[in-house]
């Protein structure tokens, strides 16, 4: 199963435990994760299901290409990391 992790600054807002999740695409992995952790969805995806502008999703340290359909493929041993951008000064 794919390992899904979240940036620590997102954890300050909502509980985001790392998890091993099944799925063949980023969309499938996130959908499965959100079933167990529904509050996280609103911090990662917008109302249309696309990645929010201030969020970056990486598969094996590479930024995903499809921020709307989340169709990027993932494998059994892949790692997905969700990072929320910080702003301020």
* Domains parsed from the chain with CATH numbers: 2-84 (3.10.20.30)
Cα–Cα distances in angstroms (integers) from residue 8 to residues 11, 16, 83, in the given order = 5, 8, 8
Distance from C-alpha of 12 to C-alpha of 88, rounded to nearest angstrom: 17
Cα–Cα distances in angstroms (integers) from residue 62 to residues 48, 74, 78, in the given order = 23, 12, 11
Question: For tokens 């094996």, what's the residue?
Answer: 60
Instruction: Please state the pTM of the whole predicted model.
Output: 0.93
Secondary structure of residue 15 in the 3-state scheme:
coil
pLDDT tens-place string over residues 10-69: 888 899 999 999 999 999 999 999 999 999 999 999 999 999 999 999 999 999 999 999
Find the helix or strand (DSSP H, E) in which 36 lies.
Answer: helix 26-36
């Amino acid at each position: 199963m794919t390992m899904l992790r979240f940036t620590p600054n997102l954890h300050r807002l909502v509980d985001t435990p790392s998890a091993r999740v099944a799925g063949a695409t980023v969309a499938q992995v996130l959908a499965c994760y959100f079933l167990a952790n529904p509050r996280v969805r609103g911090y990662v995806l917008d109302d249309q299901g696309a990645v929010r502008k201030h969020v970056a999703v990486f598969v094996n340290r590479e930024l995903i290409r499809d921020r709307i359909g989340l169709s990027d493929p993932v494998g059994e041993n892949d790692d997905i990391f969700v990072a929320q951008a910080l702003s301020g000064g």
